[in-house]
């Protein structure tokens, strides 16, 4: 039972943590690692909810074997068909040929695309409101389309009051010997990773998250069992409130971030001067980021946290400095809303970046782009002090 943790009576965690993967989805750096959670139901009928990523397959299959202790596996329930959770479906079906695979209609469409042999699996197709009883536990399925794939299901067990929530309420971050959020200092150990995970992976689908949160509000939830990160059994309202804020694009903090692009350091100096002015005028917290040296997923996480976003960069090939353009495109792709933007630019001969950034940001919903902007020529000088003051004042007042 070395890789297994008891969640509650009859429910066990049999997943694994990966600390070797450099980038989640081959995009997002995860120096903190990631866990792939799978849940085993030890009841009159046995069931397993989701498998795991191929990187932890050996541990996962060993855990499953230990959990079964010689019993047969009756059900493999697939709440989400993304390969970080479904990689072992064919292996589990091969090990337990009598298993009934449970999922939505679209689950099976995707399953046959990934595993053509799934056409021969014993299957049970379920939809919103259907139930699966294993004996003491009865799981009711809740459709969660586009959170963040279309086939996603949640499952709610009245006996344990557990909500198995697929990717929702998940986070980057390997489990360091714990399982429950209350075994960690979650705000310190996981919150930035949870926010970055939400914003980058699920952030575009706020409307769909809101829809499923409304459905979940009708359930008496005592535990949340996500597919990544710790299980929630205490302070659920605190994390639900975060999800509510994130999915309605409400900021968590009135803090400002200053994100700059700089070829040789002159724009960086201007950005630092803006940050210093903002701190002294507002007394608030300000974070400064180099857009070239900060992976965009961290910047997106900060955009979800903060209300005010200051962008300063040079004109480059008559366009926006490329890393900044990438950041702006990512914000547009993820549907960022309800933020205040302040724009600055540096140009040695023909600065046009503020206009170009304004054009891009104007495509976002419900955003304010301050009329007051900052333009420096090549480098910040004492003669720019008044303009910098006016720019910082406008940001503080916004
Ligand atoms: Fe963790 Fe959408 O897979």
For strands 122-125 and 100-103, give the pairing: parallel
**Chain segment 49-98, per-residue pLDDT in tens:** 999 999 999 999 999 999 999 999 999 999 999 999 999 999 999 999 99
Q: Tell me, in angstroms, the distance from the centre of ligand 1 to residue 50's CA.
A: 11
Ligand 1 neighbour 50 (Cβ under 6 A): no
pLDDT at 3: 86
Residue 201 CA: nearest ligand 1 atom is: 2
Nearest-angstrom CA–CA distance, 323 and 295:
10
Does the structure show a pLDDT above 60 at 1? no
Residue 36 CA: nearest ligand 1 atom is: 1
pLDDT, average across residues 285-299? 98
* CA 203, chain centre distance (Å): 7
Ligand 1 neighbour 308 (Cβ under 6 A): no
**Cβ atoms 383, 389 nearer than 8 A:** no
Q: Tell me, in angstroms, the distance from the centre of ligand 1 to residue 54's CA.
A: 13
pLDDT at 66: 96
pLDDT at 244: 96
Q: Tell me, in angstroms, the distance from the centre of ligand 1 to residue 82's CA.
A: 5
**Cβ atoms 260, 313 nearer than 8 A:** yes
Ligand 1 neighbour 195 (Cβ under 6 A): no
* CB neighbourhood size of 6 (10 A): 12
Confidence of residue 311 (pLDDT cuts 50, 70, 90): very high
**Cβ atoms 312, 267 nearer than 8 A:** yes
Confidence of residue 291 (pLDDT cuts 50, 70, 90): very high
Nearest CA to ligand 1 atom 3: 82
Nearest-angstrom CA–CA distance, 303 and 196:
10
pLDDT, average across residues 235-260? 96
Ligand 1 neighbour 227 (Cβ under 6 A): yes
Ligand 1 neighbour 82 (Cβ under 6 A): yes
Residue 148 CA: nearest ligand 1 atom is: 2
Ligand 1 neighbour 80 (Cβ under 6 A): yes
Ligand 1 neighbour 202 (Cβ under 6 A): no
pLDDT, average across residues 2-16? 95
Mean pLDDT of the chain: 97
The Cα angle at residue 123 between residues 208 and 82, in degrees rounded to 5 = 40
Question: 309: left (phi > 0), else alpha (psi -120 to 50), else beta?
Answer: beta
Q: What is the torsion angle, in degrees rounded to the nearest 10, for the CA atoms of residue 198, residue 202, residue 161 and residue 140?
A: -170
pLDDT at 36: 98
The model's pTM is 0.96
Does the structure show a pLDDT above 80 at 371? yes
Confidence of residue 2 (pLDDT cuts 50, 70, 90): confident
**Chain segment 337-368, per-residue pLDDT in tens:** 999 999 999 999 999 999 999 999 999 999 99
pLDDT, average across residues 115-136? 98
Q: Tell me, in angstroms, the distance from the centre of ligand 1 to residue 166's CA.
A: 8
Ligand 1 neighbour 53 (Cβ under 6 A): no
Nearest C-alpha neighbor of 385 from the set 274, 262, 263: 274
pLDDT, average across residues 299-318? 97
Ligand 1 neighbour 167 (Cβ under 6 A): yes
Q: Tell me, in angstroms, the distance from the centre of ligand 1 to residue 51's CA.
A: 11
Percent of the chain with pLDDT over 90: 99
Q: Tell me, in angstroms, the distance from the centre of ligand 1 to residue 381's CA.
A: 49
Backbone torsions φ then ψ of 277, nearest 5 degrees: -65, -40
Confidence of residue 169 (pLDDT cuts 50, 70, 90): very high
**Cβ atoms 167, 147 nearer than 8 A:** yes
């Amino acid at each position: 039972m070395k890789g297994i943790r008891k969640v509650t009576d009859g429910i066990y965690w049999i997943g694994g943590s990966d600390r070797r993967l450099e980038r989640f989805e081959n995009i997002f750096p995860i120096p903190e690692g990631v866990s792939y959670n799978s849940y085993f139901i030890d009841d009159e009928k046995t069931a397993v909810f989701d498998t795991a990523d191929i990187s932890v397959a050996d541990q996962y299959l060993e855990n499953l074997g230990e959990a079964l202790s010689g019993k047969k596996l009756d059900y493999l329930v697939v709440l989400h068909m993304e390969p970080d959770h479904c990689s072992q479906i064919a292996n589990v079906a091969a090990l337990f040929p009598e298993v009934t695979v449970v999922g939505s209609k679209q689950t099976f469409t995707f399953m046959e695309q990934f595993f053509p042999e799934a056409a021969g699996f014993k299957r049970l197709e379920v939809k919103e409101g259907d139930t699966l009883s294993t004996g003491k536990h009865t799981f009711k399925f809740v459709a969660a389309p586009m959170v963040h794939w279309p086939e996603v299901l949640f499952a709610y067990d009245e006996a344990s009051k557990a909500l198995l929530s697929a990717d929702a309420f998940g986070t980057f971050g390997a489990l360091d010997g714990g399982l429950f959020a209350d075994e960690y200092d979650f705000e310190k150990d996981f919150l930035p990773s949870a926010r970055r995970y939400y914003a980058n992976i699920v952030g575009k689908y706020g409307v769909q998250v809101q829809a499923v949160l409304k459905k979940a509000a009708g359930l008496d939830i005592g535990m949340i069992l996500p597919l990544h990160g710790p299980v929630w059994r205490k302070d659920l309202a605190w994390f639900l409130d975060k999800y509510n804020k994130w999915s309605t694009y409400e900021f968590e903090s009135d803090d400002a971030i200053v994100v700059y692009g700089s070829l040789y350091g002159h724009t960086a100096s201007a950005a630092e001067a803006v940050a210093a002015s903002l701190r002294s005028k507002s007394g608030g917290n300000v974070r400064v980021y180099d857009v070239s040296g900060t992976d965009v997923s961290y910047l997106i996480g900060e955009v979800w946290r903060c209300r005010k976003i200051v962008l300063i960069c040079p004109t480059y090939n008559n366009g926006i400095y490329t890393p900044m353009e990438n950041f702006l495109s990512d914000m547009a792709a993820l549907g960022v809303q309800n933020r205040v933007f302040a724009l600055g630019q540096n140009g040695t001969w023909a600065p046009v970046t503020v206009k170009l950034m304004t054009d891009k940001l104007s495509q976002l919903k419900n955003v304010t782009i301050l009329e007051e902007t900052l333009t420096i020529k090549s480098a910040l000088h004492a003669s720019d002090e008044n303009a910098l003051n006016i720019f910082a004042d406008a940001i503080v007042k916004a």
